[in-house]
Structure 1
Amino acid sequence: MKQKTVLTKRLFGWAVCGVGLFACGMTSCSEKDAPVSYVLQQNDISVDEPEEGFVTQLSQLFRIEVESVSDEGITYVWALDGEKIPGGKTLEYMFSVAGTYELVLTVSQGELSFDYKFQIKVVSEESVPLPGDATAYITKVLDFMPAVGQFTNTMPAYEVGDTQETMNRKVLEAIGNNNRGLISLGGFGGYVVVGFDHTIENKKGLCDFRVLGNAFSAASGSESDRLQGGSCEPGVIMVAYDKNKNGMPDENEWYEIAGSAHQDPTQEAWYQLAVDNGNDVNLYRDYEITYYRPNETMNAPLASPIDEYIRWEDNQGRSGYKVKNTYHAQPYFPQWFDGEKLTFRGTCLPQNGIDESGEGNYYVLYKFRYGYADNEVNTGNAAAIDIDWAVDADGQKVSLPGVDFIKVYTGINQENGWLGECSTEITSVEDLHLLGEEIPVKE
């Protein structure tokens, strides 16, 4: 049973000035203060608090909803044991250490202010187990749409009659539940959306999850030994916290993980090498590319490459064709998709592929410093992701208690000679906390 709790702690006062009401100090009221139609009262704020007090558990979402008579001119500030934490009228937080905490809500309107204190008891995971014996791995695939690529329709394999639901199931069979198969996202924009049987907790100071791919380091003796490269095909990562608990990622719940190139591409160790090579080293935050379905005759087995196989156009005024090579003769356009053109949008990263031989026979794809999928060998700490790197559409940092869904899409539009297009590959996603791995966030 819950009871309505109203706590009052601090009141500086209010006064009537001129034709309106103002939140003022005790001594005076400035003429320049704007009138408001509502003045905060001490009993206008309430919270439903259980009779036994608030009890929550480690690695599970703790949520408080504040009820108010009005929100006009009101601010809500939360502090946990004296330290401010993000939150507004709704507080969502996940605790990483068991114990008893003091939570204080400060509600203010101008100089008028009240404090509301709560005690929060956090119990261990042993006391209240995670629901359903939670697993550290992917348990659902919500969507999969690769872009044009030499492994599209083969990783996983498309069969005549397969639908979107069929392909989603095949992806889950490949990379879900720690199966460690491999899927390809094709060229820029191709994506997969996965979910879990629990919320991956955002722990302060620690990386929270890892996206596994098939990146590897270059052979000894190359320039890549110094700059760290080999086969790195970075995928941009997006995260969603299921705030409304409807079991799906809504459009307004997605945020992008801002990796190192999001912050400053010029700081990548290989940046000048890419400039000298003539690569496009710009970061396009609102990039868009459209691929057009090829003529069916081009999907037949071939003895030589087709240079003008699949036409593409982007919103930077560029266009061209994707090549079909002799190594992969299947259709490169996803066959279960019915449309004549396929459009992807997202952040396009600087081109990281360099032909170090100068003759088209030795390409090195360099590693970004952090924050992307299929960018680091799976055992490297740079493969781990901190949820606190999430930003909104304006590039502003957001605070999430955890994430329920992850989307990965190929982040580079580049052809690398005989290697073909840059295409992100995924083999798994892991909750580092459930695995007991503590990887500190690199400052």
Structure 2
Amino acid sequence: MYKSNIGLLLLSLFIFISCNKDETIGRNILQKPVISLDSETGIYVIKVGKELTIAPTVEHTEDAIYSWIVNGKLVGMESTYTATWTEKGVFYVIFRVETPGGTAEEELRVDVAELAPPVISLVLPSRGLKVLSGTDYLFTPDIQNQNEHNFRCEWIRDGKVVYTGVSYTFNESRLGSYPITIKASNIDGETIKEIVVEVVETLPYEVKFEKPSYFQTSTDRYTFAGRPVYLSPLLEYFDRPDYTWSVDGVVKEGENNQTFVFTPSKVGEYTIKVSVAENPNATKSLTRNITRATTTLSAEVIVHCSARKQEDNFRPASANSLRTQHKVYEYTPAPGQFIGELNTAGFTGNERTQADAIAYATRRLSVKNYVSLGGFGGYIIVGFDHSVPKTSNQYDFTIQGNAFDGSSEPGIVWVMQDINANGLPDDEWYELKGSETGKEGTIQNHAVTYYRPAGKGMDVRWTDSKGNSGKIDYLLAYHAQDFYYPQWVKEDAYTLRGTFLQSKNIQDPSSGIWKNQAYDWGYVDNFGKDQLTGGNTQDGSGQKNGFKLSNAIFRDRTAVDLQYIDFVKVQVGVNAKSGPIGEVSTEVFSFIDLSITN
């Protein structure tokens, strides 16, 4: 969320001078540097009076200029930074690398304490750690403060120390669950982390269909005659899947892609089945090369074709209808600095269930206070007490954010009709296209998995469907709630999916000011061309974007004819952070039907 930290700016001390064209003749295309910190969490713990060396790994360093900045002051210009920390406290350090190919930057935290016991960090799969029988699995945890006196790391199984050292290779042929304890100690204390390894004969392949939202359980799909549904299974552990689709037991010849488009021509219920077979050739897993036996799994989804027509379900507005949203149906943000925040964000600290989260969001929207959606994929679902019609107006409805020039945090808009007429948002979501739809770098059905941090005040780690990883930074200086991970999400990891946009945040090389640049049109909390008049362009107060139902699209980006909608979902569309300002996170304040003017 850019707005709350706009005054906290860093002064850039050096202006990067790029190479001229003559200097680049004959060279390969220069790549932006990539920084990998030597701490998995980005947090370094050190004792008062002790020396700490921070040694990141940097790729693409040709003609690199390094900058280490502490409290706005340049303290080093080497690829590593060594300092003796003489004061107790929490210190934020910026490491910046500038090359002709671009600029990369990481913010890290140094906790200077009177004591510095070991800190163990180990990211595990969201579904638990599963290892094939009789194969090696190498544990390489990140353990800080190994240089303190009397450091020792022990790996314990069945009450016995089986290995002494930081890295440990696990190998077990017998199937079952094996608890393992990591015990790290030094002169200042002891830290214990417990994990469970499940030894399996085959990896737990899985095929399932996506639900309309995270907290729903049914995967059933609903449509009208002649309107297609797009079906794509979600897979686990498959490397080279082959697909076979069938409808009511009849195999659809030639349909062997991951996405199957089914268009019912008449009323009824249809059972759609997908069978996914793993290619029997040798494939590479994440940890080792193995030859897998042929594996085939199936999943089914029921598609309901309504006997009603689109116009039959329209709910006209009455004299008592609300112009704004009537109800919040779900609030599932990604982790972020304003999730659980007790001051400006208005959380109580007691939000422990989805009902609590919905009550929080309802309370905030009712008085047009912002609701933050956290990082990429975080979303909110609202509904109206009537159907919002497609009109001849320029826009059919509007959503309030708080964007201003230099501060756009785009949210993707999805809409839904109540096809099954049950009053719940459990039907088909249709994206409203925007200026980035179809552009290179825009990814549909992108997925990011967030992992619950091991303790209070820690960053939130994430991995995505493209193999990338990173973290939502814990910004202690600004927002000090215990966790940025939503406390009403009970799982230790959860996955959010949606449309991904290329980020447009930049840092001015001379002033150090971060700017989240605007997209042309089509997004919430965005300083684009589709803004309604009346908003404050200095702080974003009252800023609104307008939206048209004529922009609704199917997954293949073809238009869908929606004469009205009943539900709206806003989902954060970028996965980016702007230095000390933190993650880019969409904020919403209200949803307004423009067909109601009174």
Fold match (TM-score > 0.5): yes
Question: Given the two structures, how large is their TM-score scaled by the length of structure 2?
Answer: 0.44
Q: Distance in 1 between matches of 2:448 and 2:506?
A: 23
Q: Deviations over 1:12-46 (max 9, x none)?
A: xxxxxxxxxxxxxxxxxxxxxxxxxxxxxxxxxxx
Contact 1:139/1:172 (CA < 8 Å) preserved in 2?
Answer: no
Q: In the alignment, which of 413, 426, 433 is matched to residue 258 of structure 1?
A: 433
Q: Where does residue 338 of structure 2 map in the other structure?
A: 151
Task: Give 1:218-297 correspondences, 5 Å limit.
Answer: 230-251=406-427, 253-264=428-439, 282-296=441-455
Q: 1:339 to 1:156 in 2, by over 3 A?
A: farther
- Is the aligned partner of 1:362 residue 2:509? no
Q: Where does residue 358 of structure 2 map in the other structure?
A: 168
Task: Give 1:34-433 correspondences, 5 Å limit.
Answer: 91-93=309-311, 130-131=317-318, 133-154=320-341, 155-160=345-350, 162-176=352-366, 179-204=367-392, 206-217=394-405, 230-251=406-427, 253-264=428-439, 282-296=441-455, 298-299=456-457, 309-325=459-475, 326-330=477-481, 331-357=483-509, 361-376=512-527, 379-380=532-533, 383-433=545-595
Q: Distance in 2 between matches of 1:428 and 1:186?
A: 17
Q: Distance in 1 between matches of 2:494 and 2:421?
A: 31
Q: Distance in 2 between matches of 1:236 and 1:320?
A: 22
Q: Deviations over 1:308-346 (max 9, x none)?
A: x22110011111222111211111101121110121001
Contact 1:357/1:363 (CA < 8 Å) preserved in 2?
Answer: no
Q: Distance in 2 between matches of 1:202 and 1:317?
A: 40
**Offset at 1:358?**
5.0
**Offset at 1:129?**
8.2
Q: Distance in 2 between matches of 1:161 and 1:383?
A: 30
Q: 1:260 to 1:162 in 2, by over 3 A?
A: same
Contact 2:340/2:484 (CA < 8 Å) preserved in 1?
Answer: yes
> What's the % identity of the aligned pairs?
34
Contact 2:433/2:552 (CA < 8 Å) preserved in 1?
Answer: yes
Partner-residue secondary structure (3-state), 1:333 = coil
Q: Distance in 2 between matches of 1:433 and 1:144?
A: 26
**Offset at 1:250?**
1.8
Contact 1:158/1:167 (CA < 8 Å) preserved in 2?
Answer: no
Q: Unaligned 5+ residue runs, structure 2?
A: 1-223, 227-263, 267-305, 535-543
**Offset at 1:244?**
2.1
Q: 1:202 to 1:162 in 2, by over 3 A?
A: same
Number of residues of Structure 1 aligned to a counterpart in Structure 2: 285
Q: Which has the higher contact order (CA 8 A, sep 6+)?
A: 1
Q: Where does residue 434 of structure 1 map in the other structure?
A: 596
Q: Unaligned 5+ residue runs, structure 1?
A: 1-63, 67-72, 76-87, 95-127, 218-229, 266-281, 300-305, 437-443
**Offset at 1:394?**
2.0
- Compute the RMSD of aligned alpha carbons: 3.2
Structure richer in helix, relative to its length: 1
Contact 2:316/2:386 (CA < 8 Å) preserved in 1?
Answer: no
